[in-house]
Amino acid sequence: MRQHLNLDVFQAIPLKAVRIDDRFWKPRIERNRQISLPYQYQQLKESGVLDNFLRVAGKTGGNYAGPCWMDSDAYKWLEAVCYSLSTHPDPELEAKVDEVIAVISEAQDENGYLNTYFQWVEPGRKWTNLGMGHELYCAGHLIQAALAHVNGTGKRSLLEIACRLADHIDSVFGPGKRSGLPGHEEIEMALVDLYRFTNEPRYLSLAKYFIDQRGNPDHRFRWELEHLDEIGYGSLNLNQQFYGTSENYNGAYSQDHLPVREQSEVVGHAVRAMYLYCGMTDLAVETGEYALIQALERLWENVTYRRMYITGGIGAAHHNEGFTHDYDLPNDTAYAETCAAVGMIMWNHRLLQLKGESRYGDLMERVLYNGFLAGVSLDGQKFFYVNPLLSIGKHHRQGWFECACCPPNVARLLASLGNYIYSQNRRGLAVHLYIQGSVQFYLTNGIPVTLIQETNYPWEGKIRFTVELAEPNEFALLLRIPDWRRKYRLTVNGRQLSASVINGYACLKRNWNPGDWVELELEMPVEIIKAHPLVWQNQGKVALQRGPLVYCLEETDHSSPVTQIMLSKEMEFRSEYHPELLGGVTMIEGEGFINELKEWENVLYRPIESRGPLKKVPLKFIPYFAWDNRDAGSMAVWIGELT
Amino acid sequence: MRQHLNLDVFQAIPLKAVRIDDRFWKPRIERNRQISLPYQYQQLKESGVLDNFLRVAGKTGGNYAGPCWMDSDAYKWLEAVCYSLSTHPDPELEAKVDEVIAVISEAQDENGYLNTYFQWVEPGRKWTNLGMGHELYCAGHLIQAALAHVNGTGKRSLLEIACRLADHIDSVFGPGKRSGLPGHEEIEMALVDLYRFTNEPRYLSLAKYFIDQRGNPDHRFRWELEHLDEIGYGSLNLNQQFYGTSENYNGAYSQDHLPVREQSEVVGHAVRAMYLYCGMTDLAVETGEYALIQALERLWENVTYRRMYITGGIGAAHHNEGFTHDYDLPNDTAYAETCAAVGMIMWNHRLLQLKGESRYGDLMERVLYNGFLAGVSLDGQKFFYVNPLLSIGKHHRQGWFECACCPPNVARLLASLGNYIYSQNRRGLAVHLYIQGSVQFYLTNGIPVTLIQETNYPWEGKIRFTVELAEPNEFALLLRIPDWRRKYRLTVNGRQLSASVINGYACLKRNWNPGDWVELELEMPVEIIKAHPLVWQNQGKVALQRGPLVYCLEETDHSSPVTQIMLSKEMEFRSEYHPELLGGVTMIEGEGFINELKEWENVLYRPIESRGPLKKVPLKFIPYFAWDNRDAGSMAVWIGELT
């Protein structure tokens, strides 16, 4: 297996081998563990997610609670907790996990079927509404949770449930059986992972089957639209809202418009798209299929060159929670769902393993520090579903949502962050993210090595690595040179050197001695960024970026709405770290201009020469991820240039 | 009556006394009469509007067609045709009018009730859903049609139907009777007009009653939300969609948030708001009530200083078809409904009569030549419902709509345009709009005067007036000096003079001799306009205006999307009339800049210094009203300034 893959293909270092001891991330991961995860358990109880399982298990009655994909909230929470348990044993949290798994276990049918909505509300309609029913989606999340559970705790209780469900699905769908595919992708990547863990080839075949079904001429979801009345869905009648009528069905919403190998544009629901591309990438890693890899590259280029916010956020439109057309990136009405950011990180992480090219690591970093991290408040208790880049002051994080996909998605990414930092390949060890801590890995000859990483990233660009190993050994240390850097400097044991750069990684191949140290210094000036000229929403505007961080202005630091602020070409900026501000951030200060509003009393439009004088105002930029943690007010990432 | 009103209060000159013989407007009015009105009659038939009356009259069966306010489409069409008949007798059109009135007559109940939706679909629920049922709204349109009919043809058939309905409504609603008010305002202004025609004071009292009910603490529409289930509306269950739930009811959608005399902000559905303000103004003309006039002035200042597009379009949001908050004027998602533009013209025309101040005439002109006129295609057969100021090329006029309020509203305004041009007051004659033709009026001593107006407005700013009267007589000629002018020049019989300006009108008071002539020359340079700095959507952008016309760029005149074009500060513009272009328009030509897109291949964001060179491109601006009459493509009113 995988012999088709080249020398640079990475294998992520598993969570348990990675320690995070970082000024920036450690407190966030701790808050996630100590506050978000217990808080979300409370929400699972209060929103009725757990009651749904109890109902099906015969332990309580009453009405099913929430949308039909409610089960997945529990699964994503379980997955998050199990990642956390793998690095931070916590008997109290583990007891809650066991309790929830016991409930899930009792809800599972004899034949392996498990989905509380269909079991409780529409038992006669299982597997009939693949477009919006979310049965396969929920199953995928169960499988991912089960793998996190067995990896994190060594217990197989959830894995057994997941395998029984996967086997049941495999008995229903596939060549010679019922044809079908999930409306919301997710199970594809879960099945590949289940195959990797169990070595059961049926799971890989089933993942490939679902991927191959997409965009085929049968168009299962159109068929469902045609038979809506006949099947008589109950509360699931969202199909027409999102897929249209059977006459105008085009499949874009669920990436069912074309066979996946022919796709070139990211379309439809952004989270669905990301999860599909994750599954396609996982499959490509296993099969090395060139047509699949080519499609993935076309899709990646489409989204990153034409359909992505500077924050890495994706999905411009509310109506489909997804993509629209090239260069359409409205700032105020941006959807940029937090879950789509999670999906974008997951997909880029997978592409990075497959291709070994730093551009995927660059994207992973951009999304992580901006579009993703804005999704959670500094106190870990409130979440954005939608992440606009401009607000007039009415958009705020919430504790929970009726459709609560985002909070546990944030939690599972934070809890598994260690998984995204390092990879190994046949050359040696690659560092994708600069996060203080350490990693233990084994050379191809079985020798263990510990790499210690020390840094004050993302506030400073200096990273120091120390190699710990018993005796000298040769391997390559590969350090991602971020796309945002201007200059960088590398020293080994204090001696500057110019390393060769392979696929965007500085490659330090040498015979390492115990205690050898490497310093990477990335220059981190304030960059003034322009968007592509066809992004009309950003015409005449600039954004500030420093290192991996996109900045914004908030009204609370200024005396007027930030939407009227303009920057001059001669602007100069000062960066300074403020330990007391927003949990500690580097603020960028400078000067801007605003119009004297008193010149504009009682006039809405006037000739340009009578617009009146401008006034200088001091400006304070904060990282975008930290906005909406103080007084409510306007916020803008893209700031007008002085004309 | 009306003795309370000051010397400057105007009385509009009726339609029959005005002749329009104008290069710009006459062909449009002709197309309206010869193409739009017959075409709309066809649409009334095909959409089932007339069948609904036939059903109730027992002449046909089947299902009621369309939304519950379908009757009003017929009434507005009748009103439009009757305006047209008053200046252009047309036996064929008049026969259609008689035919439609006969059908309406047969549908009326014995007691005067008339509304085919409630008669056919929900006969037990008459007057129970005032929030969304539109019964009073339809009645108002019937009354307006009836007055246009009797004024235009001398026939009283429709007036009798209207009076029977008005009397029935008066028997149902009012002090000591049932309390209520219309969810969609309209009947208020119709009842004042019916009072003016019939001198029946009950109609004025009923109008005042409905106006006074609005915003009272009972909140009838909230009560309806509370009783939705109990009353069990059929297809009318739009109430919650637009009014919210009874718990969060705030009344803003129907201007029911505050008693009208306490209102200061334009809120909710824009057409409803405009029709309410029309009724309030009509009532104020009759009563001179100061509190009402003050409220109207506050509302006018709020909309024109803070909530109006440069085109005069109003209503920024789709979700409520109406107003949002101060300075929120998105260009691409603007609603700016054509009907709201019609309402804005009607309201400003009424304020102009009440207050005699040119600023209302200025507004009337701005809306007429821009936000309103864009509503109809050059061929008179297609209409905009929504009028954005920026399009990526997917927004186009349609022949008809499921909710077809706009096409007949355009038709009735074009057919009654003569009514908006001149007024009389005790000083003499005022000219509000510069449209070639003539007007006949009578001095206070009963002497008839004809004023001939010659002009090539809006393309040229020169207007020549000739006074025709039998013998010398003293009166004042009041000429509106538009807000957009820089300089102007007045000559009488070739001799320049500087007239006093009263309320924005140049006042030429003299003893006029037969054949005396006046020339007004308004300088008409290209103006570069800025929007208020708090309109963030227009930050760093300018719009071009020449005379009363707002201009735009269309992709068909340029080789690339117009959204990326930038204008330099040193821009110079040339204006030239092109008789063959778009029915004859003055085009503005100049030069702009675009980025070289080849520098931006495969990059979405980059540091400002690497944005690459700019390229000069020739620009062709056309009047906004004329857009979307050629090849589909992007369009923009607000153009970026070079930074």
What one-character-per-residue DSSP string does B258-288 give? S-GGG--S--SBHHHHHHHHHHHHHHHHHH-
**Is beta strand A566-567 parallel, antiparallel or unpaired with respect to A635-636?**
unpaired
CA–CA gap between residue B334 and residue B330 (Å, rounded):
6
Name the DSSP letter for residue B452. Answer: E
Q: Do A602 and B305 touch (CB under 8 A)?
A: yes
Residue of A531, A564, A643 with shortest CB distance to B605: A531
Among residues A101, A211, A84, the alpha carbon closest in space to that of A162 is found at A101
- Reduce the DSSP state of residue A104 to 3 states and report it: helix
CA–CA gap between residue A330 and residue B458 (Å, rounded):
36
Q: Do A539 and B595 touch (CB under 8 A)?
A: no
Compute the nearest-CA separation of A62 from chain B (Å): 24
The pLDDT confidence band at residue B6, using thresholds 50, 70 and 90, is low
Per-residue pLDDT tens digits for A507-562: 999 999 999 999 999 999 999 999 999 999 999 999 999 999 999 999 999 988 99
Which positions in chain B touch A643 (Cβ < 8 Å)? 540, 569, 641-643
User: Environment class of residue B2 by beta-carbon count within 10 Å: exposed (0-12), middle (13-18) or buried (19+)?
Assistant: exposed
CA–CA gap between residue B416 and residue B145 (Å, rounded):
12
CA–CA gap between residue B372 and residue B624 (Å, rounded):
10
- CB of B603 less than 8 A from some CB of A: yes
Per-residue pLDDT tens digits for B24-49: 999 999 999 999 999 999 999 999 99
Average pLDDT over residues B131-155: 97
At B5 the pLDDT is 57
Are residues B221 and B183 in contact, defined by beta-carbon separation less than 8 angstroms? Answer: yes
Residue A417 neighbours by CB under 8 Å, 6+ apart: A20, A25, A29, A435
Are residues A25 and A435 in contact, defined by beta-carbon separation less than 8 angstroms? Answer: yes
Q: Do A602 and B333 touch (CB under 8 A)?
A: no
Asked if pLDDT for residue A2 goes beyond 60, the answer is: no
The pLDDT confidence band at residue A626, using thresholds 50, 70 and 90, is very high
Q: Do A605 and B541 touch (CB under 8 A)?
A: no
- Reduce the DSSP state of residue A186 to 3 states and report it: coil
Average pLDDT over residues A301-314: 98
Per-residue pLDDT tens digits for B464-491: 999 999 999 999 999 999 999 989 999 9
CA angle (A471 as vertex; A467, A472 as ends), nearest 5: 70
Structure tokens at B628: 């979307």
- Reduce the DSSP state of residue A599 to 3 states and report it: helix
Q: Do B304 and A643 touch (CB under 8 A)?
A: no
At A6 the pLDDT is 60
Per-residue pLDDT tens digits for B553-591: 999 999 889 999 999 988 899 999 999 999 999 999 999
The residues in B 338-377 lying below 8 A from A, measured between CB atoms, are none
The pLDDT confidence band at residue A1, using thresholds 50, 70 and 90, is very low
Q: Which residue has the tokens 């989606």?
A: A137
Per-residue pLDDT tens digits for A248-305: 999 999 999 999 999 999 999 999 999 999 999 999 999 999 999 999 999 999 999 9
The residues in A 496-525 lying below 8 A from B, measured between CB atoms, are none
- Reduce the DSSP state of residue A545 to 3 states and report it: strand
Which positions in chain B touch A641 (Cβ < 8 Å)? 540, 643
Average pLDDT over residues A125-131: 94
CA–CA gap between residue A197 and residue A204 (Å, rounded):
11
CA–CA gap between residue B573 and residue B527 (Å, rounded):
10
Q: Do B534 and A569 touch (CB under 8 A)?
A: no
Q: Which residue has the tokens 């403020």?
A: A578
- Reduce the DSSP state of residue B226 to 3 states and report it: helix
The pLDDT confidence band at residue B53, using thresholds 50, 70 and 90, is very high
Structure tokens at A286: 């296993």
Are residues A356 and A12 in contact, defined by beta-carbon separation less than 8 angstroms? Answer: no
Q: Is B82 a catalytic residue?
A: no
Structure tokens at A132: 């919006």
**Is beta strand A585-595 parallel, antiparallel or unpaired with respect to A574-578?**
antiparallel
Per-residue pLDDT tens digits for A159-215: 999 999 999 999 999 999 999 999 999 999 999 999 999 999 999 999 999 999 999
Check residue A377 and give left, alpha or beta (phi > 0: left; psi -120 to 50: alpha). beta
CA–CA gap between residue A161 and residue A175 (Å, rounded):
24
Average pLDDT over residues B288-297: 96
Name the DSSP letter for residue A496. Answer: E
> In chain A, what's the furthest Cα-to-Cα distance?
79
Domain A11-420 in this protein, CATH class: mainly alpha
At B2 the pLDDT is 57
Residue of B330, B392, B533 with shortest CB distance to A595: B533
Structure tokens at B401: 């709509």
> In chain B, what's the furthest Cα-to-Cα distance?
79
The pLDDT confidence band at residue A5, using thresholds 50, 70 and 90, is low
DSSP E strand stretches across A456-580: 462-469, 473-480, 488-492, 495-497, 500-502, 505-512, 517-522, 526-531, 541-546, 549-554, 566-567, 574-578
Are residues B79 and B412 in contact, defined by beta-carbon separation less than 8 angstroms? Answer: yes
At A123 the pLDDT is 93
Catalytic entry in B138, B278, B339, B405: B405
Compute the nearest-CA separation of B580 from chain A (Å): 30
- Of the CA atoms within 13 Å of residue A530, those in its CB half-sphere come to 18
Q: What is the pTM of this model?
A: 0.93
Per-residue pLDDT tens digits for A13-48: 989 999 999 999 999 999 999 999 999 999 999 999
Per-residue pLDDT tens digits for B615-634: 999 999 999 999 999 999 99
Q: Do B534 and A301 touch (CB under 8 A)?
A: no
- CB of A313 less than 8 A from some CB of B: no
Per-residue pLDDT tens digits for A383-402: 999 999 999 999 999 988 88
Looking at chain B, the domain(s) classified CATH 1.50.10 span 11-420
Compute the nearest-CA separation of A605 from chain B (Å): 5
Distance, C-alpha A156 to centroid of its chain: 27
Inter-chain contacts counted by CB atoms under 8 A, chains A and B: 125
Average pLDDT over residues B288-314: 97
The pLDDT confidence band at residue B4, using thresholds 50, 70 and 90, is low
Name the DSSP letter for residue A290. Answer: H
Catalytic entry in B186, B321, B454, B554: B321
Q: Do A392 and B527 touch (CB under 8 A)?
A: no
Which positions in chain B touch A318 (Cβ < 8 Å)? none
CA–CA gap between residue B425 and residue A350 (Å, rounded):
79
Distance, C-alpha B432 to centroid of its chain: 16
Among residues A231, A249, A181, the alpha carbon closest in space to that of A209 is found at A181
At A228 the pLDDT is 83
Per-residue pLDDT tens digits for B160-179: 999 999 999 999 999 999 99
- Of the CA atoms within 13 Å of residue A604, those in its CB half-sphere come to 19
Whether the CA torsion A227, A230, A235, A237 is positive or negative: it is: positive
pLDDT above 70: percentage of residues in chain B: 98
At B1 the pLDDT is 47
Residue of A306, A539, A597 with shortest CB distance to B604: A306
Kindly report the average pLDDT of chain B as a whole number.
95
At B9 the pLDDT is 79
Whether the CA torsion A55, A60, A66, A71 is positive or negative: it is: negative
The architecture of the domain spanning A423-522 is Sandwich (2.60)
User: Environment class of residue B306 by beta-carbon count within 10 Å: exposed (0-12), middle (13-18) or buried (19+)?
Assistant: buried
At B612 the pLDDT is 83
Q: Residue A347 — φ and ψ, nearest 5°?
A: -70, -45
CA–CA gap between residue B209 and residue B200 (Å, rounded):
15
Catalytic entry in A321, A365, A554, A555: A321
Q: Do A527 and B607 touch (CB under 8 A)?
A: yes
- CB of B606 less than 8 A from some CB of A: yes
CA–CA gap between residue B631 and residue A463 (Å, rounded):
57
Residue of B333, B539, B603 with shortest CB distance to A305: B603
Q: Is A185 a catalytic residue?
A: no
